[in-house]
Structure 1
Amino acid sequence: MPRLLLALMLLALPAAAQHPWDNPLRDDAKFSFYDRGPYRQGVPRPESILGFNVGDAHTQYHLQERVLLAIAEAAKDRVRVEEIGVSNERRTMRIYIVSSPENIARLDAIRADLDRIADPRGATQAQLDAVIARTPAVVWFSGSVHGDEVPGFEASMQLLYHFAASNEPATLEHLKNAIVIINPSSNPDGHERFAVWSNSIAVGSAEATALEQQRGQPWATRGRFNHYRFDMNRDLMAITQREVQAITGGMLRWHPMVTADLHGYTSTYYMAPAARPVNANISGWPFKWSEAIGRGNAAAFDRYGWLYFVRDAFDLYYPGYYDSWPSLNGAMGTTYETDGGPALLQYREDGTLLSLRDGISKHYVASIATFETSAARAREMVRDYAAFRAKAVTDGRNGTIKRVVFVPGSDPVRAAELAAALMRAGIEVTRTTAGFSSTRASSYTEDGTRARNFPAGSYVVDLAQPQGKLAKALLEADPELDPVFAREQLAKFQRNQQRSRNADDTEGYEFYDVSAWALPVAYGVEAYWTEDAPALQGQLLSFTNGVRMGAEVLPHAITGGIVEGRDARSAYLWRNDRNNAAKLAAQLMQEGFRVAIAAQPIQTGNVTWPRGTWVARVSRNETTLAARVDTLAKLAGVEVRGVNSAFPDDAQYGTGSSVVVDLKRPSIAVVAEGNISHTSFGAVWWSLEQRYGVRFTPISANALNGDLSAFTGIIIPSGGVQGNGANLKRWVENGGALVTFGGATSWATREDVGLTSARRITCADKKAEPTRSTAAPLDSTRATASPNACADQLADLPGSHFDVVLDLTNWVTLGMEKQRMPVLVGGSSVLGLSHDGGNVAVFPTTGTLKRGGFTFPDNSERLLRGSAFIVQERVGRGNVVMFTNDPMFRGWWRALDRMVFNAVLLGGSF
């Protein structure tokens, strides 16, 4: 519809129709939040507190809080409020529990019954049946985990009012059979950034170029992410963020049977059931309820003539979403995506209007319909939930994988962090007090199945537990993929292979996220899955006596501090075999202490220390060195030993040798803004600040053209970088350490940038190669593929696990002991080998390559073999270290942290 005609139509509307939502060009023209009454007079409506109608402006967090608490206070017979946590910016997070007065009066007893149903072990079926018969269904709604997807946040106020105030007979009856829990804001901090920015410039213009439209958000104020720029709808893998810990903790406490996560934005409303693929560990009853609830929602939308779609976009494969994670707990988890917002008003392509209130209205209607479908069949729903939990125990006992075992190894902190991540998900973890054996154990990083002995102190996850489905999903090395979905992707691949390289009709693959994610691999711990489950001695871990270390609470203490030679006269040494070893070194250096690192094995007396050992010499530091080393090492869980002599008994090198390299006091910058990925930047920010306690300075991408002399190391997270980086190159040549991730590495390999001899392999590199080889690896001398047709360019990987081989003579690998390790690879970029620098990590030309996830046949593995994963190149007096992936991916990939620290702390000294 032409814009002029639309404007004339709006002017022609009678005065009585000029209220915004009376406009016939809007979906919500005839919608009211108040047609489900009568309503109790003493319960305040949201607009009476806000001073405006919901949807007329963006509600800030403190105002939403005021509305919700006022409604709850006025309806105490139906509403109970629970504080579940505090956001990173110190906003209190609450859930609002609503049911009939009778249920609220016995809410504590109901929660005890829910605990009993959630863990059926030790109960007879008759006992469970009695509990099921008296337990209401629990339905959970979460608003706006992506802070600029605001309709869920806004709809929460109207939902609480409806359930707390409506005296409609149907609503009262449903509240007897079910409990509704409203988590009104999953991301208070991100929402507040967006709301303040939007309200400061919004005038209600529907024009696409208006500042208030979504794409106008400035980089620093974009509200999708939390304070640390994490996408919290991906964080349920390891539950690192405070907000996610609060919400999942609430879910584990209340055991919802249905969860709906309220998002935006799609062209029309999206509702359950979900698309393929669905995680294979989500089995049984959720599918039945997904269909039933979807049909109930559809009927509610059809009454208004609203459009919607199901199935074709949002899957339940990756277990870290707010729909897949509850589903693996036994709930019917779903995502709802609305089509109105975040702008107050906008045009559709056909000239009709889409409003924020429209998006709120649809979430409101879908949520009520979801609740009503659940409440109408509450007994059946509770019984099905209980059966899912019982089946998880049975399947874990009878399945091929019966246990996952991981050992402290050389980094007990990382192993304890993995145990803590699983425990935050409600998964039972046992720490053994005696050694035990398995007759059939398979390693996550080695080939074959064999008998193994495990030491005391190992961590054991038995899959025969109520959270067994979730445990298996988080821990399995190679997730099962829906064969129908897999065939569809391979068919697309085959068709793409037949197209011209310049074709504009290439079909995209339908993976919504990564296809491999095993937490033991991501954490880099020594781990195994076993096909047997012999009796063992141990203790079930809890956080009752937990110990805080950095950003996390661990289930038990880790030994650290100066464990030998407290009053050393020569030096203090600690191995670089745990992530926190670099933390200790960096913290000491940032406090002004002088630290060095051994580039080769050294000896003190008759004790040999491996390459990568950190050394703090007594004579080169203040007298407070010992006390500070001891304090920081205890906080880091790092064991330090003092020595009284620099003399090696029989080895070539000691602590006074030239192979012990003095390091510069670090001053680190991390690049933000521009085209830098928020989540890549956020993972670095959170890891450095929260996990490792290492200071850094965020700088704008534009600052790379200015004075960089204050910094010894610069990290460019994944994303686009503009220009040829001439100023940055000069900084490196003068002794700087530059570290690039992902997309920034692609920029760094450009010939005009001049930072490395490694080049990204592209179709252009292959045009002159007319023949096809299925066996030859990538050609390191030309940094292009050996003869392959351009059609053989690496197909877009969704995020899979592949082995790399490390160069254990390169300084970037100092402290690394094993030559092979799995890494996460996604996208279609392949990096040729450097012929002027170091190829720190290379995909192997022989042996096992793929460890987990989806691959394209005769493409992924063949084209990756022999290519580079990490490249180091000397530039003048400095160094560039380039990672082709995001090594701190989402804050839970920890296996590469030591090499990131080596790169940024050592790059100016080697």
Structure 2
Amino acid sequence: MQPRLSRKSVFRKSSAWVAVTAALTLCTTAAANQIVPDFPDSDYQARVASVEDILGYPLGTRISSPEQIRRYYDYLASAHSQSIRLVPYGESWQGRELYYVVISSPQNLARLDSIESNMRALADPREINDNRARELMRDTPASVWIANSVHGNEISPAESSMALAYHLLADRSSKTQQLLENTVVYIDPLQNPDGRARFVSRYYATVGLDHSADRLSAEQNEPWPNGRTNHYLFDMNRDWLALTQPETRGRIAALQQSFPLIFVDSHEMGGDLPYYFSPEAHPFNPHITQPQREVLEWVGRNNAGWFDRFGYDYFTREIFDAFYPGYGASWPLYHGSISMTYEMGSSRGHQFRTRDGKVLTYADTVQQNFVAFMSTIELAAERGNELKQRFYDYRKNAVEQGSRGDVRSYLFPATRDAAGHQKLAAVLSEQGIEVHRATANFSACGNDYSEGAFVVNAAQPTYHLIRTLLDDNVPMDDDFIAEQERLRANNLPDQIYDVTAWSLPLMFNLDMNTCNRAPRVALERFEGERIARGSVAAPDASFGYIVPWGDMAGVRFLSAALQAGLHVRSSDLPFTHDDEIQYPAGSLIVSRAGNPDDLTAQVQRIAEASGAHVQGVDSSWMRSGPNVGSANVQTMHRPNVAMLWDEPANVLAAGSTRFVIEREANYPVTAIRPAQLRSADLSQYQVLLLPATAGGSYSQALGESGRENLRQWVQRGGVLITLGNATRFVVEGEQPLLQSSLEPKAQPSEVSGRDTSVAEIITSDAQYNHRIQDASADPDWVSGVIARVNVDQEHWLTAGVPERVHSMFIGRDIYTPLTINHGRNVANFAAADEVLASGYLWEDNRHQIAYKPLVMVQPQGRGMVISFTQEPNYRAYVDGMHVFLMNAIFRGAAQAQPVR
């Protein structure tokens, strides 16, 4: 490598900055001696200010905050606008602007709109022919999108983005100039600014006289919640499937404006590992094509060449697979781009001592990311023509496959759960999938559909994404499955990295049919919002209003009505009004009596915002079912809802639970730490939720005093709701709050009943495998499947919930059913031959899960315990369970009998 040229400062530092810099030198590390970026033959020009010039410290010597990173990019965009453009694309929950920058030659940047228009044209082969496509490809440079630090505590990628931007703008070498002429480089510096801000502030709050490299130090161990997640504690690298977070939605919209040919999702992992890059581990999603996998190999080989040149270690084809479509490194693949994960071993601070005794510095990590980024841009520049052709071919072949496959259309009747269908149609549209609505009644493949049914034609450029999101099941390779079974049989860890099921229609619990032809009906393009505008029929009706229950529109109406102080009642049973309209159990009744004079205006306002369709009625008379004054019609109180917050709660479980209640149901939640729950007066709260844990114990965190405090609160009329493995807390102890128990792994009789004191002769592999089983073992861990669940229709907790729903099943917790004298099992997993709806489930688990409870309710004094044995809010994408949870909160509070 050529010797590096010195930088020249072009900005005078203030005396305050000098003082700060002087103070920082007291705790600098070896990172200060490493110059970043470092690349062969670079010729940096003083006209471009470095990070040190703008921020006051050399790159890699301090972990920059979101505000500092933004300050540097603001400088670049202002001072060098001919070569870099800053583009806002959204806002985080905490109000930080999300943005990306575009860097290229001045000539390319001047026609950026045209370049992006060309890519959008190439993305739809239905509108152009091959000759036009070749013209567009000749006129369009290659493009690379580098997305950084979606996990806020994965710190080096965001810093490395500044190294890359500086290098591309300041280096006048012919090599870099050629790269800029042949590529457009998109950089998303910081995908998760809220999480990074949390990490940076907490990290520097722990620093003493020097930065510690000890993995036991406070600097290397973040408090709860760590910086990985965004404000609502979501792992946004799992959110590209359902788009629950504004950061993800903005990013996906931006990508569909530019369709980059290569997308890099830059992460960090444990500091004892070297660098990871593509190709990915098995299994591959079957909708990732062989040409795409070939390009992943190209990228990996080019990276390897540069890492060999610099002497950096790396690994490929291990740990990180390409099966689950909800990663940033996966989703663009189903649009025809090439996307991949880069993982740098993290210093998690200024320095980290690895297990082999080496000290990994922050500057090391920033530099290695920078080299990987440069290698990727080089590959794109050199093979841009092939990349463009493969992108176009992918989209063209997708249309052809969708037009001739066994599944040519997906049909959603939308006769049940209108709000759920509306939301799913919107999510699919946001993903770039064309969704239509029928303008008349029609029949297709033996089924009848009404006007308004949703239709997704498979003959689209997004065919592979459609199949991935909508098919009931996406299979893993048979040889991969066989290997996992072999590992399990030998008590070795399996290699399944994430969930094996994610079908959106199943998780939304919506009716969907497939058809081998496109329906013959006039269609209109759906471009609606996630929540349709609600309505009120007969708003001047003399008695009041009825709101059907069973979807989130009704939940949002109830939430808003209670917060507005309206008097609302809800029926435990279905009923038919005098006008012959049938209403499901749970339906809301809002009478004029007992409500304010402006009730009509309030109901109309709430209906429009919530999406609910409200029916005005002149009479309270019911043709069947309970009348309004029946004991089976409950007054809905406005509950104060609390949830446990902090260790040992699982960060993701706590965040998704709070998000679903606050942002899907629009109802406030008070977060309370375990220390307060041990002895606090909880009488002002009617509902308390315990989210799943991350492996710790609520019994230990709350202690006996906390358990007794909760017991007395429930006895006095509180509703305690446990989610997922938090249910362990209520089944533990000498006087459990719930009369269920965790099951051990079901064993064959020859294992569970064997006499280990008697010698035996082993004559087969099967006998040997039985012989070595642990009779007291827990069930095998399930990575994540979608299970069918049967729902008891004769309990108030299941009001508006259909007879069958779908739940995620993850982990190994299986509970014994409640006996009838203690409570009710209101939802149970289906029989063994039908319990698996999607994914891969170990055979032993499939049999043991059958008929076991998903939801249990047990009265306790004036209150009750409601337990969901699996998380109903997992990643906030199991929408089909939302009404069930809201029943537990709102209807549970109405059924309890506290002293009011």
TM-score with structure 1 setting the length: 0.88
Unmatched runs of 5 consecutive residues or more in structure 1: 1-17, 440-450, 497-506, 548-552, 773-787
763 and 691 in structure 1: CA distance in 2 versus 1, 3 angstrom threshold: closer
Distance 1:771 1:801 in 2: 33
- Matched-pair contact (CA < 8 Å) for 1:409–1:525: no
Match of 2:243 among 239, 247, 254: 239
Distance 1:184 1:710 in 2: 45
Verify: 1:819 aligned to 2:803, yes or no. Answer: yes
Residue 586 of structure 2 aligns with which residue? 612
Partners of 1:80 and 1:96 within 8 A in 2: yes
Q: Distance in 2 between matches of 1:559 and 1:100?
A: 50
In structure 2, C-alpha distance between the alignment counterparts of 1:371 and 1:846, rounded to whole Å: 51
Map of 1:700 onto structure 2: 673
Q: Does 1:207 align with 2:181?
A: no
The corresponding residue for 2:453 is 458
Query: How much has 1:435 moved relative to structure 2?
Result: 2.5
Query: Is the contact between residue 31 and residue 361 of structure 1 (CA under 8 Å) also seen in structure 2?
Result: yes
Q: Structure 2 residue aligned with 1:903, among 888, 892, 897?
A: 888
Shift of the 872–103 alpha-carbon distance from structure 1 to 2, 3 Å rule, reads: same
- Residue 723 (structure 2) pairs with residue 741 (structure 1): yes
What displacement does 1:201 show? 2.4
Q: Is the 8 Å Cα contact of residues 90 and 98 (structure 2) preserved in structure 1?
A: yes
Give the Å deviation of 1:908: 3.5
1:472 corresponds in structure 2 to 467
* CA distance in structure 2 between the aligned counterparts of 1:865 and 1:386, rounded to whole angstroms: 47
Matched, 1:559 2:534: yes
Q: 1:154 aligns with which of 154, 159, 180?
A: 159
> Are the aligned partners of 1:801 and 1:825 in contact in 2 as well (CA < 8 Å)?
yes
Question: How is 1:96-107 mapped onto 2 (pairs within 5 angstroms)?
Answer: 96-107=101-112
Distance 1:529 1:510 in 2: 32
- CA positional deviation for 1:322: 0.3
Farther-moved stretch of structure 1 (344-353 vs 900-909): 900-909
Q: Is the 8 A contact 1:265 1:341 kept in 2?
A: no
CA distance in 2, matches of 1:602, 1:590: 26
Residue 897 of structure 1 aligns with an amino acid whose one-letter code is H
1:228 to 232, 236, 256: 232
1:636 aligns to 2:610 (yes or no): yes
In structure 2, the CA distance between the partners of 1:32 and 1:21, relative to structure 1 (3 Å rule), is farther
SS in structure 2 of the partner of residue 676 of structure 1? coil
1:16-35 superposed matches below 5 A = 32-33=37-38, 35=40
2:548 to 538, 563, 575: 575
Is 1:801 matched with 2:786? Answer: yes
Question: Is 1:493 the counterpart of 2:500 in the alignment?
Answer: no
| 1:252 alignment partner, SS class | helix
1:180 aligns to 2:166 (yes or no): no
User: Within 2, Cα distance between the matches of 1:749 and 1:275?
Assistant: 40
Q: CA deviation at 1:747?
A: 2.1
For 1:499-545, what per-residue CA distance to the aligned partner results, in whole angstroms no more than 9, with x for missing partners? xxxxxxxx122211111111111112211222222433111223xxx
1:567 shift after superposition? 4.0
Match of 2:840 in 1: 854
1:250 and 1:585 map into 2 onto residues whose CA distance is 35
Is the Cα–Cα contact under 8 Å of residues 715 and 738 in structure 1 kept in the other structure? yes
Amino acid of the structure 2 residue aligned with 1:301:
F
Residues 556-586 of structure 1 show CA distances to partners (whole Å, capped at 9, x for unaligned) of x4432x31253433x4222212222122223
Question: Which of 567, 573, 581 is 1:594 aligned to?
Answer: 567
- CA offset digits 1:773-801 (Å, max 9, x no partner): xxxxxxxxxxxxxxx98388532111111
Counterpart amino acid of residue 305 in structure 2: A
Q: Report the alpha carbon displacement of residue 593 of structure 1 after superposing the two structures with TM.
A: 2.3
Pick from 825, 829, 837: which aligns with 1:843?
829
* Counterpart for residue 818 of structure 2: 834
Deviation at 1:603, TM superposition (A): 4.7
Partner residue in 2 for 1:64? 69
1:782 aligned partner: none
Q: CA deviation at 1:846?
A: 6.4
State the aligned residue count.
837
- One-letter amino acid matched to 1:737: V
Alpha-carbon deviation of 1:192?
0.9
Per-residue deviation, residues 322-355 of structure 1 (Å, max 9, x unmatched): 0110111111111111113221111111221011
Letter in 1 for 2:401: D
Output the amino acid matched with 1:176.
E
Is contact 1:57–1:199 with CA below 8 Å preserved after alignment? no
Shift of 1:589: 2.0
TM-aligned CA deviation for residue 847 of structure 1: 5.3
**How far did 1:28 drift?**
9.1
Distance in 2, matches of 1:144 and 1:577, equals 39
Cα deviation digits, residues 80-112 of structure 1 (max 9, x gap): 221111222121122111112221222222111
Partner of residue 876 from structure 1, selected from 861, 879, 898: 861
2:127 is aligned with 1:115? no
Shift of 1:845: 3.1
CA distance in 2 between partners of 1:603 and 1:771 (Å): 56
Among candidates 660, 676, 683, match of residue 687 of structure 1: 660
Return the alpha-carbon distance in structure 1 between the equivalents of residues 436 and 205 of structure 2: 52
1:401 is displaced (CA, Å) by 1.9
CA distance in structure 2 between the aligned counterparts of 1:821 and 1:103, rounded to whole angstroms: 52
TM, length-normalised to structure 2 = 0.89
Secondary structure class of the residue paired with 2:254: helix
Moved more, 526-535 or 316-325: 526-535
Q: Runs (4+) of structure 1 moved beyond 6 Å?
A: 18-22, 764-769
Alpha-carbon contact 1:767-1:790 (below 8 Å) kept: no
Identify if the C-alpha distance between structure 1 residues 765 and 393 changes in structure 2 by more than 3 Å, giving closer, same or farther. closer
In the alignment, is the contact (CA less than 8 A) between 1:740 and 1:881 conserved in 2? yes
Partner residue, 1:252: 256
Question: 1:19 Cα shift?
Answer: 12
Cα distance change of structure 1 residues 378 and 878 upon mapping to structure 2, 3 Å threshold? same
By how many angstroms is 1:313 displaced? 0.8
**Runs of 5+ consecutive residues of structure 2 not aligned to the other structure:** 1-24, 755-772, 896-900
Describe the SS at the equivalent of 1:401.
Answer: coil
Taking structure 1 as reference, are residues 537 and 166 closer, same or farther at Cα in structure 2, changes over 3 Å only?
same
Segment of structure 1 superposing worse, 270-279 or 404-413: 404-413
Aligned partners of 1:245, 1:856: CA distance in 2, in Å?
35
Whether the 8 Å CA contact 2:872–2:881 is kept in 1: the answer is yes
Letter in 1 for 2:651: H
> Following TM superposition, by how much is the alpha carbon of 1:30 offset from its aligned partner in structure 2, in angstroms?
8.0
SS at match of 1:237: coil
Alpha-carbon distance change, 768 to 746 in structure 1, aligned in 2, over 3 angstroms: farther
> Is contact 1:236-1:325 (8 Å) kept?
yes
Q: CA RMSD in A?
A: 2.4
2:29–2:351 Cα contact (<8 Å) kept: no
Partner amino acid for 2:248?
V
SS at match of 2:120: helix
Alignment partner, residue 174 of structure 2: 169
SS in 2 for 1:311: coil
**Is 1:426 aligned with 2:432?**
yes
Alignment of 1:761 onto 2:725:
no
Shift of 1:243: 0.8
- Residue identity opposite 2:813 in structure 1: S
SS of structure 2 residue aligned to 1:247: helix
Match of residue 601 from structure 2 = 627
- 1:389 matched to 2:362: no
The separation in 2 between residues aligned to 1:43 and 1:828, in whole angstroms, is 56
Assess if the C-alpha contact under 8 Å between 2:746 and 2:848 holds in 1: no
Superposed displacement of residue 37, structure 1:
2.2
| Selected match of 2:698 from 721, 734, 739 | 721
Distance 1:793 1:60 in 2: 44
Q: Does 1:669 align with 2:642?
A: yes
Q: Are 1:261 and 2:265 counterparts?
A: yes
Match of 1:303 in 2: 309
